[in-house]
Structure 1
Amino acid sequence: MRILIAEDDPAIAAGVSASLRQGGHAVDHVADGARADAALRDTPYDLLILDLGLPALDGSDVLQRLRKRGSGLPVLVVTAREGLRERVRVLDLGADDYLVKPFALAEFEARVRALLRRYTAQGAPELLIGKLRLDLPGHRAWLGETPLELTAREFGLLEALAARPDRVTSRAQLIEALCSWDEELTDNGLDIAIYRLRRKLADSGTQVRTIRGLGYLLEELKNGDAKINETRADETKDSQA
């Protein structure tokens, strides 16, 4: 998942960013409302963590503009402003949840998981494709009942493909989903991640299929289907990683 944090307190921003990145998310951070509004216009996100007391443009205005554009992006407001009237006001503006500072990091992480679970996989807590079972918000995967061990990048790749069932995901979309502004992923790095993910999905009844000239598709193999796994990633040896 790719998450935007709009927070002008450096300590809070650093703490929640580290927590989210440790959970395998790609995280972007802005420290004022104007930059948050611009980022939300230009980049597709899966969640917005929004402080209300932002410079340049108040967080309430950022939220109003987001909803006026018709976006259904889930928004967790994190603010020092408390009181029932303020919470009601912000929820009525379109926030999905509200957390008052100071807060326990464990509660923040639980609220993030709850919001992502609500808005991913069409609201289903788990996604099933062949023998592959995914808990996207919890960043867990199984083949049948056996846990599937994935690196953060491999899970991010699987997540980006699973979030678009029966639709082709381009290389550019995969790179964008896997990287925040301060990270970089080369074409060769993406090929290696795809190659390794395919190896771990072997005999799972699920494949990452190459759609020539367009991108990739995560699909369940039917009886008699042949695996279509020829890409540059398949030709990449582990020694090149």
Structure 2
Amino acid sequence: MRIVILEDDLSQSEMLRWVLEAAGHKCHTFGNFKIFQTALYRESFDLIVLDWVLPDSSGPSVLQWVRETLQLKVPVLFITSKMDEENIVQALEAGADDYMMKPIRRNELVARVNALLRRAYPELTAPEVFEISGLEFHPKFTTVLRYGKRVVLTQKEFDLCLLFFRNLGKPLSRSHIQESVWSKDTDLPSRTLDTHVSRVRSKLALRPENGFRLTPVYGYGYKLEETNNPVAQSSQNASRLSDQ
């Protein structure tokens, strides 16, 4: 998963990053609120790790901005050296999902982050077959079935469509998509991502009349959402009948 860390202590920040990346996550670290704020305007993340004391703001103030600004609720883990109950209550009431006391215990950090991710994204711990509106995803076999018929996809196309459906309704930045599907170290031409999105849209018939809309978000990335179009249900029923 893609995690953003706001921590002004470089050694602490690097430790958090090292531990979470060793656990399989992708991390981006920032040392002050201003650059963190810019990043969240431009990028999408799955979880935020937030320090209480910052050089240009405070943890609760940053959290308030996050909750008021982001379109969707992203889980937030507070890290603090403040041990009194009043501050802990303040963090939770401001919208934090969990908190940890410094010094950070590495195994506990991984356990708490993974627990937050499981609660926020239950589809990640779903059975081997992930189903939604006539589509069946079989990650083990890199296979998608549409109303029982296999859709031929490349590995990257499969990874891309699974990413979109696991984040249904959530805008994903181009960097988020690239990092999740091609890895962050890949020098990927912009057109390559757009071409893959176009192929996925076509192969899975992701159109409003079929119940889904996959559209670009100007200057940001892409978003897949359900249209809840009553026409889609009629089309789905007709498709099932024609296959019988």
TM class by shorter chain equals: 0.5 to 0.7
Cross-structure match for 1:63: 63
> Residue in 2 aligned with 1:21?
21
Q: Structure 1 pair 6/67, CA: closer, same or farther in 2 (3 Å)?
A: same
By how many angstroms is 1:41 displaced? 2.2
Q: Please, which runs of 5 or more residues in structure 1 have no aligned partner?
A: 134-141, 144-152, 195-208, 226-241
Secondary structure of the corresponding residue to residue 96 of structure 2: coil
Preserved CA contact (<8 Å) 1:4 1:49: yes
Partner of 1:76: 77
Which structure has more RCO (C-alpha within 8 Å, separation ≥ 6)?
1
Match of 2:96 in 1: 95
The change in CA–CA distance for 1:81 and 1:156 in structure 2 (over 3 A counts) is farther
8 Å CA contact 1:49–1:75 kept in 2: the answer is yes
Per-residue CA deviations over 1:53-103 (Å, capped at 9, x if unaligned) read: 111122221101111225411100011111111100110001000100012
Q: Does 1:175 align with 2:166?
A: no
Q: Paired residues, what number?
A: 187
Contact 2:45 2:176 in 1 (8 A): no
1:104 partner letter = R
Q: Does 1:210 align with 2:211?
A: no
Structure 1 178/131 Cα, relative in aligned 2: closer, same or farther at 3 Å?
closer
Q: Is residue 8–residue 54 contact of structure 1 (8 Å, CA) maintained in 2?
A: yes
- TM-superposed CA distance for 1:24, in Å, is 2.7
Map 1:36-185; keep pairs closer than 5 Å: 36-69=36-69, 71-121=72-122, 125-127=125-127, 128-129=129-130, 130=136, 132=138, 142=140, 160-164=163-167, 174-177=177-180, 183-185=185-187
Change (3 A) 1:210 1:172: farther
2:43–2:173 CA contact under 8 A, matched in 1: no
Tell me the amino acid that sits aligned with residue 109 of structure 2.
F
- Alignment RMSD (CA, Å): 4.2
Task: Return the offset for 1:177.
Answer: 3.9
Q: Which is greater in Rg?
A: 2
Identity among equivalent positions (%) equals 31
Give the TM-score of the pair, scaled to structure 2.
0.61
Provide the rounded CA distance (Å) in 2 between the counterparts of 1:15 and 1:156.
30
